[in-house]
Structure 1
Amino acid sequence: MGKEIIPAGQSISIVILFIIGSSLFMGTSGESGNSSWIAIILAVLLTIPLMLIYARLHVLFPGKNLYDMLIAVFGGFIGRMFSCLYIWYTLHLGSLVLRNYGEFSKTVALTSTPMLAPMLIVGLLCIWVVNAGLEVVGRSAKFLLLFTLAVIIVVQLLSIPKFEYQHMKPLLDSGWGPVMQDVAGSFTFPFAEIVVFLGAFTVLPRKGSAARVLISGVTISGVIIIGVTVRNLLVLGPEILSSLYFPAYVAVSRINVGDFLTRIEGSSAIIFITSLFIKVSLCLYVTCQGIARVFKLESYRSVVLQTGLIMVCMADFIYKDITQMQYFAYHIYKIYALPFQVFIPLLLWITAEIMAHRAAGREEDVQ
């Protein structure tokens, strides 16, 4: 089959929907109360240098994905070991996102339906679209992003009458300590999770579009998450906000325009489903690419169905309950994810730069 190439616009749409996936409804780490929006701004600023490193890897290894880079730099054995770690991470991340949706359905939307049913439906849809190819995911993401932005803007405007600006005061009342904890939490979830996109770098055009895609995607998604976080804070207040599992859903449910326009939280929930659909699809695609690369399969499509079903089954038993899910997301994940998001990519980048410098030196000696 021909090689897939996705235009920059579609790639940016994938990045934005991937980042806002779960965080739009679960919220980000909220230790700092009414100063949480400051933590998100700092997390975005901290993520941008990391995106430049990811983009530099695309320049050093044009036409290669994360697994190709690892094997090229660290050799067959160690490179495949690192690749197996990323196969686990992307499979696990996809399962976590599916479980977020399962808990949301069980808690809010479909309280009488077994949690496995909605997760299986989304999982099968992701299997179908990944089997069709990442170009289909890209076209879907571009359309779904326009719909998502439209709904977010309308909901933001309708929320304005419910804003209580005293919830913003006093700013930094607990000091910078909780803010720094939230910076670490927001950096790893959701922004630095875009390390998954390195596994799909082969779909980017060879010319330097990676920096544009990653930085634009992170910046736009950061603005969206900051806007939603501030809205939730102004509508609910920091005390109520910290006690909720899905604060965005509750905040939107407060909208009441003249007793005529009410109960619009259902339309807001659709955004959650569309964005997590893209996030799970990308995780599934990158997991299958890794399996195909490590085991030298002809095509990743031969393992999409099996891997997708494993992801759904894993999502069903990965947590005991919603309390455990929230604790892992806000406390354990920021430690667990750092090696995948920062340490291994940094090691890969530094080693690749040394190899490129030595290769350039040898070429000069030959001349």
Structure 2
Amino acid sequence: MKEVISNRQGISMIILLMLSESFVINPITDPNSDIWISILIAIGITCLIVVVYCRILVRYPGKNLYEILITVFGKIIGNVISILYVLYCFYVGALVLSTFILFTNVVGLINTPKSIIAIGVILLVIIGLKYGLEVMGRWSEFSVRIIYPIILLTIPLMLTMVEAFNLTPVLADGIQPIAKGAMEMITFPFAEVITLILIFSTKSISKSKSIYKVFIYGLLLGGFVLFCTHVSAYLCLGKYAYSSSYFPIYSAVSRINIGDILQRIEAIIAIIFIMSGFVKIAIYLLAGCKGVAVLLKLEDYKFIVTPLSIITLVVSLTTVSNIMELNFHIYYYNYMAILMQIIIPIITLIAVEIKCRFIEKK
């Protein structure tokens, strides 16, 4: 079944995919005063990675990455790599769901059983996926129209509490922490847009020639928000408080107090995370379901959405029970992400270019 979304909807999905849990938890394991440099470098490098993703799609119009892998590498190798991506999608989807549960349980529904929160979220995700990509695109566009203005209004309020010396001295610890932080930001969350080329083909966007524009604009807009919010939070909290807080942006916003009138507005962070987190979980499960459909040669993925979503729910509840366990998974996720987000796509692009040029010569 053909599913088409507009450029704006595609950009909105990319923005929400990047925000989600990276908007509340700290994506850099050991942040220092050069955090702003790490984020800027990460955005720049990810722009190049995104060009690789788009080039792969453009070379095979109308096919997503799963289909391209099988076409380029053959059934055996292509299916093996596709299985890796399917496992990657469901694993990360389970981690995002775990983050969603833990955050909600800590800052809001303290006495609510985690299983109840998880079941509620997964039911919404199943309903969204049953309606398909177009509905997810419309919901993403609607969410961004609400989230973006809220964030742009919140950042100046955070800046009223900043201590400029928190970003000094520059390069005090050398280049290594900057490079490490940049790599962590690339794998989580910027290069997570790899998930969308598992879902999208060039024909999934109403203006297929704009596929580069959609991905680059989405990356830059999402990157701008993360840069502003994390740097503002670091300026407000300082190195120790920022690195020791499980939810640094939430902690920074909770300190906003202007004239004892405007205060206790940290609930907006929870709202943003809920809206974007729902989309991110849905995107990962959609990518996983589409992969299973390709591997099993199914015409439609929708009838496998429910059982696979339930499996993801069970994995989430059984593998992560607290924030320390979540951080453990995120630490090792970075190594897996380098393979899935960078190494395999680059190898795939090289293989695609060789095969396409060989065909063109014929």
TM-score w.r.t. the length of structure 2 is 0.96
Structure 1, residues 168-204: CA drift from partner, whole Å, max 9, x if none? 2222221211111111111100011111001112322
2:355 aligns to what? 355
2:265 aligns to what? 264
Whether the 8 Å contact between 2:57 and 2:65 is mirrored in structure 1 is: no
Name the amino acid aligned to 1:214: F
Question: How far is the alpha carbon of 1:32 from its aligned partner?
Answer: 3.7
Partner Cα separation in structure 1 for residue 309 and residue 208 of structure 2: 32
Name the amino acid aligned to 1:5: V
Question: How far is the alpha carbon of 1:129 from its aligned partner?
Answer: 0.6
My pick for the range that moved more, 101-110 or 250-259, is 101-110
Structure 1, residues 38-79: CA drift from partner, whole Å, max 9, x if none? 101001111111111111111111010111101111111221
Partner Cα separation in structure 1 for residue 208 and residue 187 of structure 2: 28
My pick for the range that moved more, 266-275 or 164-173, is 164-173
Partner Cα separation in structure 1 for residue 104 and residue 225 of structure 2: 23
1:93 aligns to what? 92
1:127 aligns to what? 126
Whether the 8 Å contact between 1:163 and 1:231 is mirrored in structure 2 is: yes
Structure 1, residues 71-103: CA drift from partner, whole Å, max 9, x if none? 111111221111111110111111110101111
2:8 aligns to what? 9
Whether the 8 Å contact between 1:245 and 1:326 is mirrored in structure 2 is: no
Name the amino acid aligned to 1:44: I
Whether the 8 Å contact between 1:17 and 1:145 is mirrored in structure 2 is: yes
* Counterpart secondary structure, 1:119: helix
1:164 aligns to what? 163
Structure 1, residues 218-268: CA drift from partner, whole Å, max 9, x if none? 111111100001110111111110001111111110011211222111122
Name the amino acid aligned to 2:156: L
- Within a 5 Å distance, the mapping from 1:190-269 to structure 2 comes to 190-202=189-201, 203-205=204-206, 207-269=208-270
Question: How far is the alpha carbon of 1:16 from its aligned partner?
Answer: 0.7
Name the amino acid aligned to 1:215: I
Q: Percent identity?
A: 34
Whether the 8 Å contact between 1:27 and 1:246 is mirrored in structure 2 is: yes
1:365 aligns to what? none
Unaligned runs of 5+ in 2: none
Unaligned runs of 5+ in 1: 363-367
1:136 aligns to what? 135
Name the amino acid aligned to 1:354: I
Aligned pair 1:175/2:174, yes or no? Answer: yes
1:337 aligns to what? 337
Structure 1, residues 251-288: CA drift from partner, whole Å, max 9, x if none? 11001121122211112210011111111111111111
* Counterpart secondary structure, 2:262: coil
Partner Cα separation in structure 2 for residue 317 and residue 41 of structure 1: 36
* Counterpart secondary structure, 2:200: helix
2:291 aligns to what? 290
Whether the 8 Å contact between 2:26 and 2:243 is mirrored in structure 1 is: no
Name the amino acid aligned to 2:91: H
CA RMSD of aligned residues (A): 1.3
My pick for the range that moved more, 25-34 or 345-354, is 25-34
1:315 aligns to what? 316
Aligned pair 1:79/2:78, yes or no? Answer: yes
Structure 1, residues 107-136: CA drift from partner, whole Å, max 9, x if none? 222221111222221111111011101000
* Counterpart secondary structure, 1:34: coil
Partner Cα separation in structure 2 for residue 7 and residue 272 of structure 1: 24
When the two structures are aligned, how many residues end up with a matched partner? Answer: 360
